Amino acid sequence: MKIISNFNNLLHRLQVSPRITKSQLNQVPRQQGAYVIWLDSNPATCLKVGIAGPRKGKGLWERIKYHFSNNPHNTPLAKHMAADISFGQEHGYDFRHRLQRKQFLEERCFFQVIPLPSWSKRELRRFEKFLELQLNPKYRGRIKPQKC
């Protein structure tokens, strides 16, 4: 029960952490940790949770930067969004186009992060699974490429 209690405390800290938009990317810590991507709606909708390892000293900052680039080659979020045409259309964007996905993230979304610099990869993954269970993100896991 101690682990769940600790995870709940960390979830609360994450949810009250500052909202980060693309223009605030330089404020993201360069440590490893966990993050949540939200659609800025009322109430906010959880789009994805994730973790970032140390990444050669770039940690969360680099992971969030990759998400904002929305390149399907380095972020599963881009693959999920590209496959989810109807969600993009509901919000006035054509997710088939990378620039439209980037624009959606820049205009309609924010991130929240929590650095966890001393955690092992295993601990980070356990916390990510906990966040998925608690926040029920729209996108989770990896998406397999569609066969022609």
Q: What is the pLDDT of residues 98-138, one digit of tens each?
A: 999 999 999 999 999 999 999 999 999 999 999 999 999 99
Contact 96, 82 (CB under 8 A): yes
pLDDT at 144 over 70: no
pLDDT digits (tens, 9 = 90+) for 42-71: 999 999 999 999 878 799 999 999 999 998
pLDDT digits (tens, 9 = 90+) for 85-98: 999 999 999 999 99
pTM for this model (two decimals): 0.91
* Residue written as token pair 């959606």: 104
CA atoms of 34 and 50, how far apart (whole Å): 6
> What is the per-residue pLDDT for 129?
96
